[in-house]
Amino acid sequence: DTGVSQDPRHKITKRGQNVTFRCDPISEHNRLYWYRQTLGQGPEFLTYFQNEAQLEKSRLLSDRFSAERPKGSFSTLEIQRTEQGDSAMYLCASSPPTQYAHEAFFGQGTRLTVV
Amino acid sequence: RKEVEQDPGPFNVPEGATVAFNCTYSNSASQSFFWYRQDCRKEPKLLMSVYSSGNEDGRFTAQLNRASQYISLLIRDSKLSDSATYLCVVNMPYSSASKIIFGSGTRLSIRP
């Protein structure tokens, strides 16, 4: 499968624990996005990488959230000291290095439940 | 004001009906526009891109009105399988920290 892959697909954690999610984009894609989606809402932009550079970070991303893309390939999203409000679907998407905007391809997401 | 706004619906229409959704965006410099479809508990998938001249793909027609900053999606002869959430997507200009912004989605339910 050469699509965007995310791991794990599901994560249940206790409040206060740290969690880390991984995203492997489509190999030739240099742009990588993280979104968070709660029930009944569209995906909310969290952060964006172009190669290894994190170009933008949403105000939604508190200090407990950090994302990396160390070699411009896979990316990780870490949430420290999880809270119940962090429960959501975390979606990763990638898009190719075209001059003009191109569609984003999504992974199947990581569903986080904080208990 | 949200960067991308949609009517959340739900739209509940009979099979065979024509249904239309609108979406407005706030940044006049936005250059690329898309409609995505999302089924329950699945990831969003591209339905169609939206071009300035308008484009049609089978029963689906997308249009862009730059002057009024809105895009639309028209579905003709709706099928039961069209039931889903339709997400309006806008991409900021390439020269900035380009980001893809989603609307909150419009829920469509087609009844037999």
Give the pLDDT confidence of B42-52 residue by residue, as tens digits.
Answer: 999 999 989 88
Strand partners, A65: A79
B34–A contact, CB cutoff 8 A: yes
User: Which of B6, B49, B98 shows the shortest C-beta gap to A103?
Assistant: B49
Cβ contact A100–B31 (<8 Å): yes
Contact B5/A at CB under 8 A:
no
| pLDDT: which is higher, B32 or B12 | B12
Q: Note whether B32 contacts A: Cβ–Cβ < 8 A.
A: yes
Question: Which residues of chain A neighbour B7 with C-beta distances below 8 Å?
Answer: none
- Tokens read off for B103: 């609307």
Q: How far apart are CA A4 and CA A65, in angstroms?
A: 21
Among candidates A40, A95, A109 on the partner chain, residue whose Cβ is nearest the Cβ of B43: A109
Give me the total of CB pairs closer than 8 Å, taking one residue from chain A and one from chain B: 58
What mean pLDDT do residues A95-101 have?
70
C-alpha span between A55 and A33 (Å, rounded): 10
Please check the confidence at residue B20 and state whether its pLDDT lies above 70: yes
Cβ-nearest to B104 among A41, A55, A109: A41
Kindly tell me the burial class for residue B22, based on how many C-beta atoms sit within 10 Å of its own C-beta (0-12, 13-18, 19 or more): middle
Tokens coding A15:
């409040």
Distance CA B50, CA B73 (A): 9
- pLDDT attached to residue B93: 65
Q: Measured between CB atoms, does B51 come within 8 Å of chain A?
A: no
The mean pLDDT of chain B is 90
Least confident of A52-66, B15-29, B89-103: B89-103
